[in-house]
Amino acid sequence: MFDSIDRRILATLQRDAEISLNELAERVGLSKTPCWRRIQRLQQEGYIERRVALLNAEKLNVGLTAFIAVRTDQHSQDWLQSFQEAVQDIPEILGVYRTTGDIDYLLHAVVPDMKAYDALYQRLIARVPLSDVSSFFVMEDVKHTTELPLDYL
């Protein structure tokens, strides 16, 4: 059973996964043990997949974000497997999304600069045939969050 306390636990953990159990329990109006049990249940039920640290891209010298639109004229299982292996092996690619419309896949990547982007591009096209690749570079990060909306539960 998912309720408003579960929603508050998830909202708080999305903002700060390092919050102490005591502080979290206090914020959501529970004692420590019932709060811990709810967190365990939310993990077991798959609402919480994992807890991670969000790193500073600028400090790690990967401050250039690119969105790469990929089109292919091949839609076989072999091509798809090659594509999936290629993007999995390139650590600069953070996300890969199969989309509707004119673009088959949208890739989200981070690199230090254009030279590094070109090297990424060269590695990608060497691994898998693509019919068209268009790239878009982020000039300003207007909104960037990892917090998912919880209003649809």
What is the structure's pLDDT at 7?
97
72 and 128, same domain (yes or no): yes
Please check whether residue 59 lies inside any domain of the structure: no
Non-local (6+) Cβ contacts of 79 within 8 A are 72, 128, 129
Per-residue pLDDT of 60-70, as tens digits, reads: 999 999 999 99
CB count in 10 Å sphere of residue 123: 14
Q: Which structural domain, as residue segments, surrounds residue 33?
A: 4-44
1 has a pLDDT exceeding 90: no
Please check whether residue 68 lies inside any domain of the structure: yes
CATH code, domain with 113: 3.30.70.920
Question: Are the C-beta atoms of residues 69 and 130 closer than 8 Å to each other?
Answer: no
Per-residue pLDDT averaged across 79-102, rounded?
97
Per-residue pLDDT of 99-140, as tens digits, reads: 999 999 999 999 999 999 999 999 999 999 999 999 999 999
17 and 75, same domain (yes or no): no
130 and 87, same domain (yes or no): yes
Structural domain total, the chain? 2
Report if pTM > 0.85: yes
153 has a pLDDT exceeding 90: no
38 has a pLDDT exceeding 90: yes
